[in-house]
Structure 1
Amino acid sequence: MTDTRPQPTPEVFWEEFYGRDDRVWSGRPNPLLVREAAGLAPGTALDLGCGEGADAIWLAARGWQVTAVDVSATALERGAAHAAEAGVADRIGWRRHDLGTSFPEAPEGGYGLVSLQFLHSPLELPVERIVRSAAAAVAPGGVLLFVGHAQSPSWKRQAHADVRFPTADELLAAMGLPSPDRRVEVRESLRTEATGPDGEAGFRVDHVLRVRRLR
């Protein structure tokens, strides 16, 4: 039988998600963000789907001026508190957006870094449209960095059978590639052995795409 119950809005869903615990994520930045952004010269950064702010705080501690965006007010409040504890509150602006329906306005000239890290949702999410908006927000000389699952982690295959994960080609097309104005600096699909939430052994496959806007 098909479940015909109405889906919650993203705001309601993620508020409930973050309301289950005082802290959901580890507080550590995503390792692939660290790998790809550590060598970039600090400037302005946009962190889309920032959650509790670990990536934004890592970037701010390295000199970036960050705009951190999430749909959950609770996540943003926690991020702001963690940023204050880390001494970088003045380097991060927190903004609430449902990226499925709105997108933060870019500063004049755009951002030096736009980061989309594991922007996944059990609710419908127009990932390719968001990627297209993200690419448009990158300044000339800047970088768009996308890290996301290529498929459900092995321990969630059945639960996520109806979730569509865009291919690398689809994501690059959404970024406007091929184009003489953009250069792909990193394109990888990484398989990582991992342990599920109930201790099950498994793996996940993630796309890593780093694209520089040339002009």
Structure 2
Amino acid sequence: MESKQALIVGDLVLKSVATTTAYMIATVIAAFVRRNDGVRNGGEIGIDCDGPCTKRCNGRVCTSAEDCWSGVCGVNKTCSVPSCSDNIKNGLETGVDCGEVCPLKCGSQSCKRCSECQSGVCIDWPGCAEATCYDGVRNGGEIGIDCDGPCLRRCNDRACISDDDCWSGVCGINKTCSVPSCYDNVQNGLETGVDCGWFCPLRCNSQFCASDAV
């Protein structure tokens, strides 16, 4: 009898604990949702900022970007209004400084001109392309066209160890990446072959020529 009562009591305790745990989890989730629902509620000073929220509203004092709802702690150590040029995905942006309220479109958004896209690259489908280190455009935090920043290849005049380090494919005798030329024995720059074609005086094989001299 006592054993059966103990089992009943134990079952009730487990149910109580489970109910309490579920309630606590639901409360935490509800609080999180309220703080990220795009509405000024629950004692917030602004939309999803201050009051019970950990993020601070625009104009409030901050120590780092993480303090601010906008993700921007300005030079005067106050949270700044989101903008389309702060290198952060914030406000109503659908990407970093692009989409929705920003003039530039994010990757895959439809476009007619490259100038509409943040990456500077517009293709027929699906639209704006994501920035890459091989698209011939300075984008995505690159220091030069397809070099430095997130790219492995280094820009001209940067220190190098081997030709593979350089966007130009030429690591000069002074161990710095050299500007592409028509005499470096490498197909680089706008050449269509090794040191020939496009802006080089020599034409590549199969290109039209006027005489044996060109």
Q: What TM bracket, shorter-length normalisation?
A: under 0.3
The TM-score with structure 1 as length reference comes to 0.23
Larger-gyration structure (1/2)? 2
- Normalized per residue, the structure richer in helix is 1
Higher relative contact order (CA 8 A, sep 6+): 1
- Normalized per residue, the structure richer in strand is 1
The TM-score with structure 2 as length reference comes to 0.24
